[in-house]
Amino acid sequence: MRKIVILAALALLFIDRASAQQCGSLSTNFANDLCWFKNFVRPQLGVSDAEIFNYQTYSYGKNSYTLKNDKAPWGGNYFSWKSGGLATRWAAYINEPSFPNSTQLDYSNVANMTTAQLARLSPAEKLDIYLGYKDFRITKQELKNRGPETSEIESWEGFCNGVRAAGALTPEPIKNVTVTSPDGKQIIFYPVDLKILIGASYFYLGDFGYGQFGSNHSVAPNAGVFDIALRLLIGDKEKVFFFDNNQSEQIWNHSVIGYERAITENMRAARSGEVFPNNATKLISYKLTLYHMGETSPEDMNSPTKPRISNLSPCCVEREIYNYTLYLNNNNKIVDGKWKNNLYPDAVWFAAGKGDDQNHTASRGIDPNTGKPYKGDGNLDHDKILQLVKMASN
């Protein structure tokens, strides 16, 4: 089973305080979730309240849509921390270690390594050598702070949230890039290397780059707001958003790339003895087929993934079936939504801007999501990695 790590950020951090509404606590309440949703899409996507109001009409917009090639995210793997994380030597020969030991990292060995041997090192080691970090500061930080030398980590923990965000917000690396280190060594970065490096840089987002409704393993996102988000963001704006595809305490971050909704119960008024939410006078029910992207193998990551994702290839795309009821007022506006069969996305989140992992180090303090110090790597320079990504995407 593919298991993924939580996105560590506060839901309120994304707010553009100049335009934000004050929202209630995260809950299944339609008005609260709609408020949180608005507070992200207005400043980050330029969506007006009038547009959102249009999509509160249950029939407004597309009943099905899949993101096209140029709008689809690229696919990536979460690179399990327990199996090496950013220090995973994914291209190592079978008789070579799958990740280094921090006590055995010695830059003097680099001088005698061939270009082919250097190419089989981990993404973290390659970045250290390229940037001239002879103390292997990035690799050691990753091994000790969020890698196999870290205590109390689970096999499901990794960079999935960062890779999902990077896949939606950065160009896809599709070719090898060869660069020269300060001491003249030729370093080959494969697309896999660059995808996980830029994904790690997005493990934390900036203060205004994150939004959420619903909450892990406790509060389901309101079905009515989720329906609006699908039609507005996927069907109209062609913007990726994300959800937790696991209802346990583990978090499996997936990217929404398409949907189909079909009526399962025609619009009707309340029946005798049936209690509707406040302001609702009728209901309509849907079956939702949700197309989403989870893990992509390192082998598949090394070639272009966007065309396969937009074509719903099983290499990268999964399908989930949900059923829900929308409650409407006299003007056919959604005023609430309820999931059926106790099946629903566990939480919904949005991302924008640059990766900010380098500014979320332990010195920043305690991560409110985990109660532990932040795990960011201060040497994981987003802009330098993005420069390599752009070179590999052209």
pLDDT band at 198 (very low <50, low <70, confident <90, very high): very high
Task: Look up residue 122 and give its amino acid.
Answer: S
Section 21-48 average pLDDT: 88
Beta strand 210-214 pairing with 241-244: unpaired
Cβ atoms < 10 Å from Cβ of 217: 14
Section 17-25 average pLDDT: 69
**pTM recorded for the entire structure:** 0.92
Task: Look up residue 87 and give its amino acid.
Answer: A
**Residue in 166, 81, 182, 174 with CA at minimum distance from that of residue 385:** 166
Give the model's pLDDT for residue 220.
Answer: 86
Give the model's pLDDT for residue 14.
Answer: 40
pLDDT value at 357 more than 90: yes
Ramachandran quadrant class, 29 (left: phi over 0; alpha: psi -120 to 50; beta: rest): beta
Give the residue, 217 or 92, on which the prediction is more confident: 92
Do residues 247 and 217 lie in contact, with contact meaning Cβ atoms separated by under 8 Å?
yes
Beta strand 317-328 pairing with 253-269: unpaired
Cα-atom radius of gyration of the chain, to the nearest Å? 22
pLDDT value at 154 more than 60: yes
Section 273-293 average pLDDT: 96
Give the model's pLDDT for residue 19.
Answer: 57
Give the model's pLDDT for residue 371.
Answer: 86
Give the model's pLDDT for residue 28.
Answer: 73
* Residue 132 burial (C-beta neighbours within 10 Å; 0-12, 13-18, 19+): exposed
Do residues 158 and 214 lie in contact, with contact meaning Cβ atoms separated by under 8 Å?
no
Section 19-40 average pLDDT: 84
In angstroms, rounded to a whole number, what is the distance separating the alpha carbons of residues 19 and 198? Answer: 30
Which tens digits make up the pLDDT trace of 360-393? 999 999 988 778 899 999 999 999 999 999 999 9
Percent of the chain clearing pLDDT 70 (strictly above): 93
pLDDT band at 153 (very low <50, low <70, confident <90, very high): confident
pLDDT band at 12 (very low <50, low <70, confident <90, very high): very low
pLDDT band at 86 (very low <50, low <70, confident <90, very high): very high
In angstroms, rounded to a whole number, what is the distance separating the alpha carbons of residues 225 and 212? Answer: 12
In angstroms, rounded to a whole number, what is the distance separating the alpha carbons of residues 24 and 31? Answer: 9
Section 293-310 average pLDDT: 93
In angstroms, rounded to a whole number, what is the distance separating the alpha carbons of residues 38 and 95? Answer: 53
Section 220-227 average pLDDT: 95
Q: Residues for the chain: how many in total?
A: 394
For the chain, the first-to-last Cα distance in angstroms comes to 34
**Residue in 202, 149, 247 with CA at minimum distance from that of residue 358:** 202
Section 247-263 average pLDDT: 88
Section 279-289 average pLDDT: 98
Section 228-255 average pLDDT: 89
Which tens digits make up the pLDDT trace of 109-138? 999 999 999 999 999 999 999 999 999 999
For 333, the token pair is: 């506006």
pLDDT value at 4 more than 80: no
Do residues 215 and 347 lie in contact, with contact meaning Cβ atoms separated by under 8 Å?
yes
Q: For the chain, give the mean pLDDT.
A: 91
The 3-class SS string of the chain reads: CCCCCCCCCCHHHHCCCCCCCCCCCCCCCHHHHHHHHHHHHHHHHCCCHHHHHHHCECCCCCCEEECCCCCCCCCCCCCCCCCCHHHCCCCCCCCCCCCCCHHHCCHHHHHHCCHHHHHCCCHHHHHHHHHCCCCCHHHHHHHHHHCCCCCCCCCCCCCHHHHHHHHHHCCCCCCCEEEECCCCCEEEECHHHHHHHHHHHCCCECCCCEEEEEECCCECCCHHHHHHHHHHHHCCCCCCEEEECCCCCCCCEEEEEEEEEEEEEEEEECCCCCCCCCCCCEEEEEEEEEEEECCCCHHHHCCCCHHHHHCCCCCCEEEEEEEEEEEECCCCEEEEEEECCCCCCCEEEEECCCECHHHCCHHHCEECCCCEECCCCCCCCHHHHHHHHHHHHC
Give the model's pLDDT for residue 248.
Answer: 66
Which tens digits make up the pLDDT trace of 180-189? 999 999 999 9
Give the residue, 27 or 193, on which the prediction is more confident: 193
User: Which residues does residue 215 pair with via DSSP β-bridges, in sequence order?
Assistant: 219
